[in-house]
Structure 1
Amino acid sequence: MSTTENAIRPPRDAPEELRQQRPQQQPSGAYFPLGYKEAAYQWWSSVTPSMAERNVLKHIPFLKEATTSMGNLSTTDSTDSFGTRIWRRSMVQLSGKNRALNEFSVERVGEEPEETLVMVHGYGAGLGFFYKNFEPISRIPGLKLYALDMLGMGNSSRPPFKIHAKDKEGKVIEAENFFIDALEEWRKARKIERFTLLGHSLGGYLAVSYALKYPGHLKKLILASPVGIPEDPYAVSAALPEPGESTMQNEFTVDQQTTTTTKNSAAVPPKRPYPSWLVWLWDANVSPFSIVRMAGPLGPRFVSGWTSRRFNHLPSEEAQTLHDYSFSIFKQKGSGEYALAYILAPGAFARRPVINRIQNVGRQPIQGPDGQTVSKETGIPIVFMYGENDWMDVAGGLAAEEKLKQLKANIMRNGTEEEKRNEGGSCKVVIIPKAGHHLYLDNAEFFNNIMRKEMEDVKETEKRKQAAAAASS
């Protein structure tokens, strides 16, 4: 049986009649491979969202869950050459009614945290999708790792999503603030002063918005296949790669097994114009997840149309666990998902393009508690990551890189001696081979190696700053 056929199967405890039923032969590329009877059973017997998330986390090797009965743990784990590491799940309460963020954290036993990495997922997803990254990244001594479900998504609370602004830009900003204000509240609750922020897809777009609204708290910004960078499909320089395949429909049609074994975007289907009915649904803010919720017992079948392609490059047990986890997220009450139509137009192009704001990241005035300006940021490193077969527009990242490099060159050429000495801005674009939009999952080993290098760079940069400060005092 192929990986695709094996990926979505009846649970082991299903009735004998269902377990013995041979899967219906599906034509290659069938949109909904899960049969009606299997879908109904999965809907009826599905586990709670919290348990579905826990089942995904069980695939993480070496890390131990923190419990009250653990007692004093040794700092050396005979089964783990990278030391004893524990993980926790918490629901961090925020201000207001029904506002809380679901948090996963990894800490190294016996070590004082030196650096903090915060990971934020993309649209409609959840922190569990990073399960292949938590253990390898947390091998770095002195690193504390957090992964968060955005407000209104994943297993975070789902308050009503409402827009009160009247003008177009005001509506977009209010939609962004729904998420980034919650992230800032979480930072304060955890008493984290400065950290590195990784955002994937929509999470990358929102990470930029966070950096601009709440300056002074980021050491490095890592944008993994971020949406919303270019102004429009043809707004980048002609000398850069053509953006041609930057269409959100590929998220639902691309086969990951092909994507992760093919070079140079050969797996990406050609761009097709969006039908008028889809544009209407988008502008009317009809969420794709509302279809899953309305489908009732057929919900798992609809979800299988995405999961059978997204996870078919993974071992069958992991693919099944991620299918269950995805369904548990998609079927929950609609909330943050309704922000998408305010932030992005059909085709995943931003209504407030990042390319028009990226030069201000890490360059904002920092205000004191009384609202007065106490200092100004002097630039931060920004890293763009794209999969080799990404449907997101790598040309947007390259255009942003060029814009930021010109800005830094101008400062080094015309700035004061103090500005030149304190300049900390940089930008680079990294391509993850044999990976698509979900590069952290498609080629986890390569992605994790890059992430470790970036976090080691943060450690070394901080040490140099501390040494320079000590020498000048």
Structure 2
Amino acid sequence: MQDETELEPNSGTWSWWPSWRPTSMSLLKTAEAKILACIQNEVWSRFVTLPNQNRIWTLTVSNKTAQKTSEQASQTPLVMVHGFGGGVGLWIRNLDALSRRRPVYAFDLLGFGRSSRPSFPADASLAEEQFISSIEQWRQSLGLERMILLGHSLGGYLATSYSIQYPERVSHLILVDPWGFPERPQPQPEGSSSQDLEVKRPGPPRWVKALLPVVSLFNPLAIIRAAGPWGPGLVNRFRPDFKRKFEDLFDDNTMTEYLYHCNAQTPSGEVGFKALTGYMAWAKRPMLQRVNLLPPSLPVTLLYGASSWMDSSSGKLMAQIRGQDSTRVVLIDDASHHVYADQPEEFNRVVENICNTVD
């Protein structure tokens, strides 16, 4: 692994908090390094500096054998964009498998993980544009002409927005349980029947229900920072599923510690996400209102966990808007919102097959 110098220290009005919160960029780096040590293929890790001097933490994973035969040089790279509160470490079950035939890039979104944490505007369209501009500048800095773009949750929303603005750069768009597509539902009139509605999917998990009221008032993960030294325990309490998802790789709290250090830092991308959200975290600018702007020739595949609390009907509506020939919806059994970790083998197989349709 190659690593550049550490990111700039936290700054701004939250600078006194590190004495209260048991976190730092150095501790995040250490937690992430333990996770990335599981990767068997070649990994190049570095900061990509943007023209405005913001830095995007980036992994490039490639197959050792394919590198020697130059097989990967002609393959369209796969670029993976994590969801809200995540980082590159969450792809640990996928990076080796998906880099067998092509290079895989994963990066921490601006304001998340180890990437720079600048200020974000409160306006939804301006905040969205700041995210998208950073992705395009990142692409330009790396010299990627075209890519297969995969985004999970918030990453799916941003990947779609990016593809609308820069469709010539995307060979295939893969959306994994994407957030922010449907419009906020209107209250049902009294006495109305719900018999014609689809079978109700599982509701949001406990930690989501706990955070939704907070999102409307404060930054979504403010409670983790406010908890100070009790923050790590709070993450363990609300996200025990992450320990279970990766228990065959780590028999300790490695993954929840990583999540804590990702989100106990100065809020930045979190502020950007709050700008995108309205009441109860519904998107202010629902993506279904804009998917018609994607070129009809751009293939899109939506992957949903069959047991996810994210409603796959948005994918079906997108297919109706764009046409079945260019849009496909795939459900993965026994998987919830974090499809890539719940059923990694099936997820990797489906994504690899999609990539093979490109080249």
The TM-score range, normalised by the shorter chain, is 0.7 to 0.9
Question: Which of 239, 257, 266 matches 1:324?
Answer: 257
2:14 pairs with 1:57: no
Aligned-pair CA distance for 1:453: 0.2
What is the distance in 1 between the residues matched to 2:24 and 2:80?
Answer: 31
Residue 190 of structure 2 is matched in structure 1 by none
2:307 pairs with 1:389: yes
Instruction: After TM superposition, list the pairs within 5 Å mapping 1:77-88 onto structure 2.
Output: 86-88=42-44
Q: Which amino acid aligns with 1:303?
A: V
| Deviating more after overlay: 181-190 vs 49-58 | 49-58
Unmatched tracts of structure 2, length 5 or more: 1-20, 188-193
Q: TM-score, normalised by structure 2?
A: 0.83
2:113 pairs with 1:157: no
| Change in CA separation of 1:426 and 1:332 when aligned onto 2, cut-off 3 Å | same
What is the distance in 1 between the residues matched to 2:226 and 2:206?
Answer: 22
Secondary structure of the residue aligned to 1:158 is: coil
2:321 pairs with 1:457: no
Bigger Cα Rg:
1
Aligned-pair CA distance for 1:43: 3.8
Q: Which amino acid aligns with 2:83?
A: G
Matched residue pairs, number?
326
2:359 pairs with 1:441: no
What is the distance in 2 between the residues matched to 1:179 and 1:451?
Answer: 24
Aligned-pair CA distance for 1:215: 2.8
2:5 pairs with 1:48: no
What is the distance in 2 between the residues matched to 1:158 and 1:380?
Answer: 32
Secondary structure of the residue aligned to 2:84 is: coil
Q: Which amino acid aligns with 2:284?
A: R
> CA contact under 8 A between 1:243 and 1:394: conserved in structure 2?
no
Secondary structure of the residue aligned to 1:384 is: strand
What is the distance in 1 between the residues matched to 2:113 and 2:74?
Answer: 27
What is the distance in 2 between the residues matched to 1:327 and 1:209?
Answer: 28
Secondary structure of the residue aligned to 1:87 is: strand
Instruction: After TM superposition, list the pairs within 5 Å mapping 1:307-456 onto structure 2.
Output: 307-315=239-247, 317=250, 320-362=253-295, 379-405=297-323, 426-456=326-356
Instruction: After TM superposition, list the pairs within 5 Å mapping 1:21-420 onto structure 2.
Output: 43=22, 48-60=27-39, 62-63=40-41, 86-97=42-53, 99-108=54-63, 109-110=67-68, 111=70, 112-140=73-101, 143-163=102-122, 171-233=123-185, 241-242=198-199, 245=202, 249-250=204-205, 252=207, 279=213, 281-284=214-217, 286-315=218-247, 317=250, 320-362=253-295, 379-405=297-323
Aligned-pair CA distance for 1:344: 2.3
Secondary structure of the residue aligned to 2:103 is: strand
> CA contact under 8 A between 1:93 and 1:101: conserved in structure 2?
yes
Residue 15 of structure 2 is matched in structure 1 by none
What is the distance in 1 between the residues matched to 2:253 and 2:328?
Answer: 36
> CA contact under 8 A between 1:44 and 1:297: conserved in structure 2?
no
Q: TM-score, normalised by structure 1?
A: 0.64
Structure 1 moving runs of 4+ over 3 Å: 42-47, 237-240, 242-245
CA-to-partner distance for each residue in 1:123-171, whole Å, 9 max, x for gaps?
111111000000111112xx111001000001111112234xxxxxxx2
Aligned-pair CA distance for 1:321: 1.4
Percent identical residues: 33
CA-to-partner distance for each residue in 1:220-265, whole Å, 9 max, x for gaps?
0000000111123469x997735654x5x42626xxxxxxxxxxxx
Aligned-pair CA distance for 1:307: 2.8
